[in-house]
């Protein structure tokens, strides 16, 4: 990802709920079968709860039986970073958002084809945009070239 988001600890605390902060910034884990997305079946895009980066598509989601949302491949490999995690006496691969560095979960080598990977994520690390809905403009870049900035086709206040 080209644009990085760097916030102070105080800014993260103001932006996130207490549970989101504990997981995204403190590398915590939500309890299995309690998150909003472990059993979600709608079509759309899963995004980072910290910065709205696109992380996973619903068509890459599968039921791993673990109680956490699981995916076999990311939206784009450049949208995530894989880090060596040796906490708790284990060797694992931690997954973080490439844009803001927020902790998402872990990647394991026991997923389905075609990748054989299981990206096991915390629901609280994610937000979801239904298929057909516009993704949020978190970085305030405006609409893509040639498209109006608003759904009604009118310019935003202050635009010419």
SS (H, E, C) 10-71: HHHHHHCCHHHHHHHHCCCCCCCCCCCCCCCCCCEEEEECCCCCEEEEHHHEECCCCCCCEE
Evaluate if residue 158 carries a pLDDT over 80. Answer: no
Per-residue pLDDT at 60: 97
pLDDT digits (tens, 9 = 90+) for 70-79: 999 999 999 9
Largest CA distance in the chain: 59
**Beta strands 118-121; 70-71: pairing state:** antiparallel
Confidence of residue 155 (pLDDT cuts 50, 70, 90): very low
Q: Tell me the β-bridge partners of 93.
A: 84, 107
Per-residue pLDDT at 88: 84
* Annotated catalytic residue, options 48, 51, 100, 120: 120
pLDDT digits (tens, 9 = 90+) for 108-151: 999 999 999 999 999 999 999 988 777 665 555 555 444 444 44
Residue with tokens 């958002």: 97
Mean pLDDT of all residues in 85-105 = 93
**pTM here?**
0.81
Instruction: Note if 97 is an active site residue.
Output: no
118: three-class secondary structure by DSSP: strand
Neighbours of 83 (CB within 10 A): 13
Mean pLDDT of all residues in 87-110 = 94
Per-residue pLDDT at 77: 96
């Amino acid at each position: 990802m080209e644009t990085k988001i760097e916030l102070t600890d105080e800014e993260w605390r103001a932006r996130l709920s207490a549970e989101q902060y504990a997981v995204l910034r403190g590398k915590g884990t939500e309890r299995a079968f309690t998150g909003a997305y472990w059993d979600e079946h709608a079509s759309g895009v899963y995004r980072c709860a910290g910065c709205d980066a696109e992380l996973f598509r619903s068509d890459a989601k599968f039921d791993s039986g673990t109680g956490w949302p699981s995916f076999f491949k990311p939206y784009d490999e450049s949208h995530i970073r894989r880090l060596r995690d040796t906490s708790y006496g284990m060797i694992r691969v931690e997954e973080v958002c490439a844009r803001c560095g927020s902790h998402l979960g872990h990647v394991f080598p026991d997923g389905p084809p075609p990748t054989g990977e299981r990206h096991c994520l915390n629901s609280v690390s994610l937000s979801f945009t239904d298929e057909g809905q516009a993704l949020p403009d978190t970085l305030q870049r405006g609409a893509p070239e040639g498209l109006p900035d608003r759904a009604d086709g009118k310019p935003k206040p202050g635009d010419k």
